[in-house]
């Protein structure tokens, strides 16, 4: 089946940029997504990118998509302590239409 991989942990200093990386296997995915989960809460959709795009920017968030390498990244500029959370990458399985999630990357922001 399709698979999505993420590194499990990232630690940055407040004010630095954070880059969270993700690789996926379904080359026919139409949409790729980033979700944020704060402690004790559900997932919050941060942004998503259509597969015919290379980049999408939304305020402090920049998503880069490299279809050739099946690599997706989320850059958070000027990272704040409120950005501390688990970030999930997900792809839309082109066969089933279902969302396939990565394991999540825990972002720790140190003051």
Partner 1 sequence: DAGITQSPRHKVTETGTPVTLRCHQTENHRYMYWYRQDPGHGLRLIHYSYGVKDTDKGEVSDGYSVSRSKTEDFLLTLESATSSQTSVYFCAISWTAEVEAFFGQGTRLTVV
Q: Binding residues for partner 1, per CB under 8 A?
A: 4, 30-31, 33, 35, 40-45, 48, 88, 92, 97-99, 101-104
CB of 30 to partner 1, least distance (A): 8
CB of 104 to partner 1, least distance (A): 6
CB of 16 to partner 1, least distance (A): 26
CB of 102 to partner 1, least distance (A): 5
CA-based angle 94:35:57, to the nearest 5?
90
Residue 45 or 55: the one with the smaller Cβ distance to partner 1 is 45
Residue 49 or 109: the one with the smaller Cβ distance to partner 1 is 49
Residue 9 or 17: the one with the smaller Cβ distance to partner 1 is 9
CB environment 67-91: b (16+ within 10 A), e (fewer): eeebebbbbbeebeeebbbbbbbbb
């Amino acid at each position: 089946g399709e698979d999505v991989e993420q590194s499990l942990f990232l630690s940055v200093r407040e004010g630095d940029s954070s880059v969270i990386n993700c690789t996926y296997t379904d080359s026919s995915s139409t949409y790729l997504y980033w979700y944020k989960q704060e402690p004790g809460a559900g997932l919050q959709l941060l942004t998503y990118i259509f597969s015919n795009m290379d980049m999408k920017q939304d305020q402090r968030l920049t998503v880069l998509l490299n279809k050739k390498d099946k690599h997706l990244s989320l850059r958070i500029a000027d990272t704040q302590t409120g950005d501390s959370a688990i970030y999930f990458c997900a792809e839309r399985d082109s066969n089933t239409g279902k969302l396939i999630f990565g394991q999540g990357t825990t972002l720790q922001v140190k003051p």
